[in-house]
A and B are shown apart, each in its own frame.
Chain A
Amino acid sequence: MAYEPQYYPGATSVAENRRKHMSGKVEKIRDISDDDLTLILGHRAPGSDYPSTHPPLAEMGEPECSVREMVEPTPGAKAGDRVRYVQFVDSMYNAPSTPYFRSYAAAINFRGVDPGTLSGRQVVEARERDMEELAKFQMETEMTCPALASLRGATVHGHSLRLPEDGVMFDMLDRCRKEGDVIIMHKDQVGRPIDKKVNLGKPMSAEEAAKRTTIYRVDNVAFRDDAEVIEWVHRVFDKRTIYGFKPEN
């Protein structure tokens, strides 16, 4: 019988959403064009070639190596792309994703990625076109609400702050705004103005965000109420503690 990963314990909607993020089986809910994505990432001009740090691997005459033979390079590595980043900030007020689940989603479902997980932000570094594939996936799916999550390379303050009246997470550099019924981004990841307003789509309603979120909150799905998750954490804790004390067991 084929093995089916279980990913995560828990009987609540939050636990189920966590399993979805980790499995990569998330719903696509908006389209963002390649050029728009390039603009807001801010690493190169839309339509320009990918800058490279080395020639394509096929032209490099790589040494004989069994690992190289076994591991198919990612498209970015094959082409010699430089390493670039995408960094998300997710509000604690029911943003769909959270730093750890962005990292798990990246590490499980994408190759050649280097996720970094903090409290207010989550960064993935990868070869540029590989990074763009991941960024597009996360931005176009239910992993991201454009009002409750945003791309921020630096000055990331905001994930824990109260929401302003329009529901768009606080950003010191004011990179995103609500215009009409959609969220637009008029600066790139590090706050440099860009040539056009990029439409990131409609924000989720409060009800929809609460339904899709991966964060436990007492005013939505309380952590206290997901007994299986707590039991599982206790089990990890027990094992790690006992391991240090008596490693032969």
Chain B
Amino acid sequence: MANDKQKMFAKHMELKYTKEHGTNKMEGGDITDKTVTYYRLGVDQNPRKLEMKKAGKELADKRGLVGYNPMMHCGGIPLGQRALTPSFLSGTDDMVEIDDLHYVNNAAMQQMWDDIRRTVIVGMDMAHETLEKRLGIEVTPETINHYLETLNHALPGGAVVQEHMVETHPALVDDCYCKIFTGDDELADEIDKQFLIDINKEFPAEQAEQLKAAIGKTSWQAAHIPTIVSRTTDGGQTSRWMAMQVGMSFISAYSMCAGEAAVADLSYAAKHAGVIQMGEMLPARRARAPNEPGGIPFGHLADIVQTSRVDADDPAHVALEVVGAGCMLYDQIWLGSYMSGGVGFTQYATAAYCNNILDDNLYYNVDYINDKYDGAANKGTDNKVKATLDVVKDIATESTIYGLENYEKYPTTLEDHFGGSQRATSLSAAAGSAVSLATGNGNAGLSGWYLCMYLHKEALGRLGFFGYDLQDQCGATNVLSYQSDEGLALELRGPNYPNYAMNVGHQGGYAAITSAAHAGRGDAYAVNPLIKVCFADKLLPFDFTKPRKEFARGALREFEPAGERSLIIPAK
């Protein structure tokens, strides 16, 4: 049955390995060939490497100090002894240079992280109660609109209340704004549409009902401070910047006394009592502020990604977009730079979101589950199969063996995922997400992830990097541990969960497994309805409905980022 379906990776493998790119001589042959000619053409075979080589030489001439020189690799033997091939972002036909998937070379990747780090959600209700009950000030939709107009002047750095103040230039902070959302349709109707994230408009009806029921009559501000501010400081600055401008805007909009004690209550609400950070603060040994990637739970990331509201009937697609976003953020930026440094992590991460290899594995699993478990992988709650170890073993084993056999039948896919860590991520993300889709249970999915690691290791006599042995051999024991931190629901685990802090190639997969459990059920959100609504906003520079397409636009140099400094530097 599904074994015979068209392999989703076939087209990309053919373009990568049987068509010439640059001057790499990859012309002819078949994607099932087990032998190939190695021409040892070096970096000159690849257009981007050539561009970089030229830039490195110009840099050395200009500054009188050597820099990038590919001939420094291994005593004069440069990269490119095998063919340097491009990649395709999964789910797209966009062919990109692999160098352009390093976040330094990709403005879209940078902006995805910028848009998360500079976001904070602040409740309005505590502030309104302070104004009404303590000060006797009437709060109406009209005053809320006036306040929001004031805040959208002040939040980017415009002055209110005080005289002779410096201000930020609007053209440098044009990505900064604040909108509002509520589960109260009557209040939403009264809010000026420019300020409103309209749940009824942005979400399918059944998701909108879930979200409104969860949010109720409360109202929330979705605030995004300027990218340039966030980049200059850190994620901890987001709530502080927001809280300061919120306080000033309340004073101005409601004609308060600047020194009255109620202002402190407003500040406290904005900074602490009524604030939702995207990421929690990290402990001292990994000392980071709130809103840094190591503190973002997998459930939060599943909610930040918005594919679930635009393609709800394809929960596998939802999980795959979360894989892309998660591998980029957690592997390339968090582990790859914050925690480690260097450039190697990109190769780990891109395996999960390039060339449709993982996609093929997961969609095969969807067919397998739907055939065997009566449509359990389709969106729904009544169609799920009970999460038992037998179900986990059945689905994860079939998924893993299917994926392994693809590497064996299609040597080009093995060559594409040339490292065991890449294969482990792809295979386990497929197995785990599949179990999640079938059961609607993220921890069952996680169980599938670990079984996949065991099977993979036994089949090939190898797994991933050293740490895979540590993390993945003890992982099953923590899936349902009676100890509260170890046995935490996957939605609430994150990069700082004890065993997850050490190894690349996992966290994006875990986020996808979380997402698959809820997308599979048709849930509007995984863990936090406020975060899901906050990012349902087309005004954000990064389109969170399709992270992988955005990464492609970044790699193709088509993405327009925010926070640029061109206005204040000499023109080139």
Chain A residues with CB under 8 Å of chain B are: 18, 92-93, 97-101, 116-120, 154-155, 157, 159-165, 170, 172-174, 191, 214-219, 222-224, 229-230, 233-234, 236-238, 240-241, 243-247
Q: How far is the CA of A154 from the CA of B73 in the complex (A)?
A: 12
Cβ of B459 under 8 Å from chain A: yes
**Which listed residue (B77, B418, B476) contacts A161, Cβ 8 A?**
B418
Q: Which residue of B lies closest to A241 (CB)?
A: B476
A64 to chain B, nearest CB (A): 36
Cβ of B465 under 8 Å from chain A: yes
Q: Are B460 and A98 in contact (CB under 8 A)?
A: yes
Q: Are B464 and A118 in contact (CB under 8 A)?
A: yes
Q: How far is the CA of A222 from the CA of B81 in the complex (A)?
A: 32
CB-defined A-B contacts under 8 Å, sample of 9:
A118-B462, A118-B464, A118-B465, A119-B463, A162-B411, A164-B37, A165-B35, A215-B461, A218-B404
Q: How far is the CA of A219 from the CA of B410 in the complex (A)?
A: 11
Q: Which of B191-199, B211-219, B480-488 contacts A (4 or more CB under 8 A)?
A: B480-488
Cβ of B393 under 8 Å from chain A: yes
Main secondary structure of the interface of B (DSSP, over half): helix
Q: How far is the CA of A220 from the CA of B458 in the complex (A)?
A: 16
B210 — which chain A residues lie within 8 A by C-beta? none
Q: Are A119 and B480 in contact (CB under 8 A)?
A: no
Known interface pairs A98-B462, A247-B482. Does A223 touch B401 (Cβ–Cβ under 8 Å)? yes
A230 — which chain B residues lie within 8 A by C-beta? 397, 455
Q: How far is the CA of A130 from the CA of B191 in the complex (A)?
A: 78
Q: How far is the CA of A247 from the CA of B482 in the complex (A)?
A: 9
Interface residues of B in 444-489 (CB under 8 A from A): 447, 450-451, 454-455, 457-466, 469, 474, 476-482, 486-487
Cβ of B267 under 8 Å from chain A: no
A109 to chain B, nearest CB (A): 17
Chain B: interface size category: 35 or more
**Which listed residue (A92, A154, A229, A234) contacts B460, Cβ 8 A?**
A92
Known interface pairs A155-B74, A162-B34, A218-B405. Does A241 touch B414 (Cβ–Cβ under 8 Å)? no
Q: Are A191 and B409 in contact (CB under 8 A)?
A: no
A164 to chain B, nearest CB (A): 5
Q: Are A163 and B35 in contact (CB under 8 A)?
A: yes
B37 — which chain A residues lie within 8 A by C-beta? 164-165
Interface residues of B in 371-413 (CB under 8 A from A): 389, 393, 397, 401, 404-405, 407-409, 411-412
Q: Are A238 and B389 in contact (CB under 8 A)?
A: yes
Q: Are A241 and B480 in contact (CB under 8 A)?
A: yes
**Which listed residue (A160, A164, A229, A240) contacts B415, Cβ 8 A?**
A160
B389 — which chain A residues lie within 8 A by C-beta? 237-238, 241
Cβ of B36 under 8 Å from chain A: yes
Cβ of B259 under 8 Å from chain A: no
Q: How far is the CA of A164 from the CA of B81 in the complex (A)?
A: 12
**Which listed residue (B35, B74, B460, B464) contacts A172, Cβ 8 A?**
B74
B401 — which chain A residues lie within 8 A by C-beta? 223-224
Q: Are A246 and B462 in contact (CB under 8 A)?
A: no
B412 — which chain A residues lie within 8 A by C-beta? 162
Cβ of B75 under 8 Å from chain A: yes
